[in-house]
A and B are shown apart, each in its own frame.
Chain A
Amino acid sequence: MKTLGSTLLEAKDLSVRRGGVLALELPEFNLRAGEILGLIGPNGAGKSTLLLCLAGLLPPAKGELVFAGQGLVSARNLAAYRRRVTLVFQEPLLLDTTVEENISVGLRLRGVENSERKRRVAENAQRFGLAHLLTRPARELSGGEAQRTTLARACALEPQILLLDEPFSSLDPPTREALLQDLGRVLRETRCTAVFATHDLMEALHLADTLAFLRDGRVIQSGPVGEVVNHPMDEFVATFVGMETLLGGQVRQCAQGTFTLAVGDQEIIGIGEVEPGQELTVGVRPENVTLALHQDGESSARNSFPGQVTRITSRGPFFKVELDCGFFLSAYVTAPSKEELDLREGRQVFASFKATAVHLIRK
C-alpha cells in the first residue's frame, strides 16, 4: 500500500444541481495527493456529475471546492484550477485532425512552447503505444486507439488531478484489459492523483487505492479498497462488491470473537464482535465457497451444509452454482470441478466456507 500525501482537493457540504434537479449531495469530500479514487455506482448515481464538478465544469449549487488550500469560487481561481485538472470522457471526443495534433491540443491552448510541446507529445504517444500512429487522422482510429489518444492527450497536460469518466466502458474486453494495464502503469510512473468512475468493480480493484460507492447522488460508503470490499456497509454495496449470498438472521451466541447466526433452520459461524439476540446480515463471496460430494471431516471450514443444486450458469472461465441449503448460497466452480462433481440441477452436494469468509454487513 503506497503512502498518500496531504489533502489536495476537498469540499464540505457540496451540492450540485443538473437541469434544476439535485444530482449530488456530498457532506464531505477529500482527495489526497497521489490518491487514486474509484467512484463506483450504477448509472445515474451521480458519478459523472461529481467528475464534472471536480473538473470545474459544473459549478456547485452549494458549498465550495478547495484545491491545495485555495477556494475555487472566484472566476480567476477557477480558471487557473481548470488548467491543473483534466477530464477524460467515456467517448473519445477527438478533434478532426491527426493523432499528434489531438495530443498537443491542450498544450497549444496553454501556449506551451514548441520544443516542450513536442517532447510531451512524443513521451505520451510512447507511453500509450501511439508512436506509430502520430500522423494518422483521428477519424480513422479504432475505438481502442482513439481512447488511447484521449488518455495521451490528458496525460500530456501533466495534470495535478486526472479525472476519468468510465474511459473503458465502450471498449471490447481485450482492448479494455490492455488499456487498463497501460493506464495503471502510467499512473504509477507519474504518481498522478486520479479519480475515475466505473461500474466495473474489477477496473476499480485494478487501479484504485480508495473506493467511493455512489447511489442516488450520495456517497454511501468510502474508504481503502480492502476495507470497502470486505466490509460493505449495506446490501447494495455488498452485491456490488460481489457478495452474491446475503443472509439475514439472529445472533444465537458469541464467544471469543466468533458468533453463531441462526439463518432459517441452519446456523452459520462467523467472526466479529456482536451481541446475542442482535439481528444482522452477513455476506459470503461465491469464490470462498467450496463444493464436495461428501462431508469432509478434515476441512478447516467451520460452515458445512448439505444442499441441492438449483441452477448452474456459465460465467466465462467458471460456473456459478446456486444452491438451496435451507438458505440461498452461491458458489463458483471451475469447469474441471464441475465435470468431476458431475454438477447438474437437482444434484446433492456439500457446500463449505470458513468462518473468516462470513462478512459482517453493518447497516
Chain B
Amino acid sequence: MDLIWEGIKEALRLLFTLDREVLSITALSLALSGLATLASLVMGVGLGLVLALNRFPGKRLVISLVNTGMGLPPVVVGLFVSILLWRNGPLGMLHLLYTPMAIVIAQTVIATPIIAGLSLAALQQLPPDLRLQILTLGATRRQMVWVLIKEARLPLLAAVMAGFGGVISEVGASIMVGGNIKGSTRVLTTATVMETSKGNFDIAIALSVILLVLAFAVNAALTHLQQRRRPR
C-alpha cells in the first residue's frame, strides 16, 4: 500500500512543482498527437466526404476497409511504419525512423481511419436530400460541401476527438517507431512504460495522471457535445 501512497504523493509533487521533464514530455505528447490528429483530420474528413458524396463500384469494400481500420492495432501500425522507414526500407532515405516525425506518421495512420469512419457516419446521418436542397439554394459544389461540414460539425468534432483520444493513449507504435529517446521521442505513454519497468512508480503515476486527465478532458468534451445535440 505504501508503494502506491508514496507514488501518488511524489506524483502530485512532480505535477504541482511543474517538473521540467514531466512538462516537456507532456508538451511533446500533445504536439505530436495534435499534429497527427490535424493531418488525420484533413485526410479522414476528406475520405469521409469522398465516400459520403460519391457512388462508385467497390464503395462498400472501401467502407468496410475504413471501418476495419478504425480498430487497427497500434503495434501492427508500428511494425509496418518501422519497415517502411527502416534504413534500407522503401522510405529509408528519409532517415525518419526514431524521430518525432515517425511518431506523427504512425499516429496519423492510426487516427485517419477513425476520423474517416466517424466522418462518414456523421455525413450519412444527414438527410439524403439535404445536398440537393443546398444546391438548389444556389450553392456551388464547393459551397455545398462546406455547408454539409458545418451541418455535421458536432459529430465531426466528436470524430476528431475520438482520433485524438486514440493516438494520445497509444504506446505500441510510438515506442516502435520513436524508440523512447529522451528529449526527442519520449512521450507520456512510452515514458510510463519505461518508468514502470524501472520501478519508478512515482513518475509513472504522475505521467498516468496527466494521461488520464487528458483522456477525461476529451471524453468530457465529447459527452458535452453529444448531450447538447437534441433530437429534432
- Measured CB to CB, the residues of B under 8 A from A are 127, 129-130, 132-140, 143, 147, 150-151, 230, 232
Contacts and interface: CB of A to CB of B under 8 A. Distances in A.
Contacts of A208: none
**Main SS of the interface on chain B?**
helix
Contact of B132 (A52, A83, A106, A139): A52
24 contacts: A55-B132, A57-B132, A57-B135, A79-B140, A82-B135, A85-B136, A86-B137, A86-B138, A91-B127, A91-B129, A93-B127, A93-B130, A95-B151, A96-B151, A105-B134, A105-B147, A106-B138, A109-B137, A109-B138, A110-B138, A139-B230, A139-B232, A153-B137, A163-B136
Contacts of A237: none
Contact of B133 (A89, A96, A110): A89
Contact of B129 (A86, A89, A110): A89
- Cβ-closest 4 pairs across A and B: A106-B137, A93-B133, A87-B136, A139-B232
A157 interface: yes
A105 B138 CA distance: 9
Chain A facing B: main interface SS: mixed
A105 B135 contact: no
A157 B139 CA distance: 12
A71 B108 CA distance: 48
Contacts of A82: 135-136, 138
Nearest to A106: B137
Contacts of A85: 136
A82 B139 CA distance: 9
- The CB with the most chain B CB atoms within 10 A, among A57, A93, A163, is that of A93
Given A89-B133, A105-B137, A153-B137, 13 more contacts: A52-B132, A55-B136, A56-B136, A82-B136, A86-B136, A93-B127, A105-B134, A105-B147, A109-B137, A109-B140, A109-B143, A157-B137, A163-B136
Given A95-B147, A139-B230, A139-B232, A87 B132 contact: yes
Nearest to B136: A87
